[in-house]
A and B are shown apart, each in its own frame.
Chain A
Amino acid sequence: MTHTITADENERLQIRRIKNGTVIDHIDGGEALNVVKILGITGTTQEALSIATNVPSRDMGRKDIVKLTNRELSKEEVDRIALISPHATINIIRNFKVCEKKGVEIPTIIKGIVRCPNPGCISNTNEPIESKFRVLPKGLCCYYCDWVITKDLTSNII
C-alpha cells in the first residue's frame, strides 16, 4: 500500500522538534536566510539553528521555517521580520510545548537594520548614530535624508 506524504508530515520530517527556543513559522517562501540575517544570527552563533525553505504549506503554497534552540526572541527582534515577511508567526517553546504564539507587527521606526542606499546620507559616515527609518505605506523613509526605499529591501540589510 502506498502512502502519500501530507504537507504537515513533510514539515515534521524536515526539522525535528526543539526542546527550548523559538520557532518562526509561516515565513514567506525563500526569505528564511534574510530573516536570519535581520535577526543578526551569524555563522558563529552558538545556538543550534535549523532552517527549512520552500516547505509545502496548505495556506501559503510554500513557506520557510526557522528554529532556534535555547534562545527566546524578544518582540522588538521579531517585529523586524515583519518588514520582509509580514505573515510570520513566532512560537516560543519551553520543554517541547508552545508557551507563546504571536504574529509580527510592522514597527513604525526601525533602527540599525537597514542601511540608507543614499551615498550622500550622513548616516553612511563615521557619525555615532544608527541608521533610522520611518515605516510608511510607500516604503522605508530615511529619518536623516528622506530617501525612500521602495524595493529590494533585503539588499540593504546591514
Chain B
Amino acid sequence: MATRHIISIGDFDRSGIDRLLDHAQQIDSKKYDRNALNGKILAVLFFEPSTRTRMSFESAIARLGGTSLSVGSVDACSIAKGETLADTIRVVSGYADAIVIRHPKEGAARLAAEFATVPVINAGDGAGQHPSQTLLDLYTIRQSMPIDKIDLALVGDLRYGRTAHSLASALSLYNARLHTLSPTGLELPDTLVNELTDKGMEIVNHESIEEMIGLVDVLYVTRIQRERFPDSASYFNVASSYRITPELLNEAKERLIVLHPLPRVDEIDPRVDESPHARYFEQSKNGVPVRMAMLMDVMQ
C-alpha cells in the first residue's frame, strides 16, 4: 500500500474531511484506544518556531501511546551544516514511523514526501499550506453549527496568511459564502480569488468591520504583522480599525463565533475572551483531537 501523506487541504475531498472530523469527535469524547500507536515514534522536524502546532502534535502522539523525537533548534542540526532537506528526510525516515514537518520554504513538505519512506504530515511550509490548522478550524466551526452554507469572514492579513488561504479553499467544498476585510495591499491573492470563484464560491469584500459584523456566522481573525507596514503609526492605525471588541459584538448574530489561529497581538480585545462568541482557545485545544485523528490516519 502506498504511504499516506497529509500535505495540503487540497488533497482532501469533502467526504475525506468529514470522515477525519468525525474521527476527531469520537476521540474528543474519549472513545479511542489509548494504545493505538503504542511503540510508534513521531519525528517532529520543525525548522521554524512554533508553540501550539508543535506541542499539540507531541501531545497527540503521547495520548495515543507513542513517543516523539525532535531536533531541538535548527542551529543544532545538520541543516545548519548545509545538508539538504532531502538528505535529512531520508535519514529521519530511518529513525521514526512518521514525520511532522514545518519549514520556511513553500513546497518543502511535498519534497519531504518524495524522499520519505514513512508518512509525512505538513505542519506549515512558508506561506503555503497548513492542513492540520484548517482541519481544526473546521472542527471548531462544526462544534457550533453545520459548516454547510455558512457566512464566514476572513479579517486581517489575507495575502500572506496561510491559514486563511487553506480555510477558504476548504470552505469552497461546503458552499460557504466568504466575506473579506483586509488592509490595502494585504488582500487575498488574485490567483486564490480566481480559483475560489471558479469553484462557485461567492466572495464579498467589505470596507469596514461594522458593515460586516451583522452578516456573518464565523469571524476568522488573523494577525496583522507589524513588519508589513512602513512605520508603527500606520500599523497602529490599521490594527485599531480591525480590532474586535465586546461593543462590536453587540451587533453580531447570536450564533456568531470568533476564531483566531493565535498568537493574537492587538486584534482581539482581551475582554472578548469572556464573551460567548469567543472560541479561539477552544479552537487551539481542538488541535489535539484533530491531530490525533490525523496521526492515526497515516500511522495505523
Please determine whether chains A and B interact with each other in the same assembly: yes
Among A27-35, A94-102, A140-148, the stretch that binds chain B is: A140-148
**List of B residues within 8 angstroms of A147 by Cβ:** 106
Does A122 touch B at the CB level, under 8 Å? yes
Q: B-facing mask of A119-154, CB < 8 A → 1, else 0?
A: 011110111110000000010001111111010000
Bound form: Cα–Cα A147–B86 in Å: 21
Minimum CB–CB distance from A88 to chain B (whole Å) comes to 29
Known: A144-B107, A145-B128. 6 other contacts (CB 8 A): A122-B85, A123-B111, A127-B85, A129-B111, A143-B107, A146-B8
**A147–B191 alpha-carbon span in the complex (Å):** 9
Which of A123, A138, A150 touches B107 (beta carbons < 8 Å)?
A123
User: B27 contacts the other chain (Cβ, under 8 Å)?
Assistant: no
Within 8 A of A (CB), among B1-58: 8, 10
Main secondary structure of the interface of A (DSSP, over half): loop
The answer to whether B111 and A122 have CB atoms under 8 Å apart is yes
Across-interface contacts of B103 in A (CB, < 8 A): 122
Binding site for B on A (CB under 8 A): 118, 120-123, 125-129, 138, 142-148, 150
Task: Please tell me which one of the listed residues A123, A128, A143, A146 contacts residue B128 in the complex, with CB atoms under 8 A apart.
Answer: A146
Instruction: Say yes or no for B108: interface residue by CB 8 A criterion.
Output: yes
Q: Looking across the interface, which residue of chain B has its beta carbon closest to that of A128?
A: B86
**Taking A129-B111, A129-B114 as contacts, is the C-beta distance between A145 and B86 under 8 angstroms?**
no
A127-B85, A146-B128 are known contacts. Are A122 and B114 too (CB-CB below 8 A)? no
- Most chain A CB within 10 A, of B86, B107, B114, is at B107
Instruction: Give 6 pairs: A residue, B residue, CB < 8 Å, sorted on A.
Output: A118-B106, A127-B85, A144-B106, A144-B107, A145-B125, A150-B191
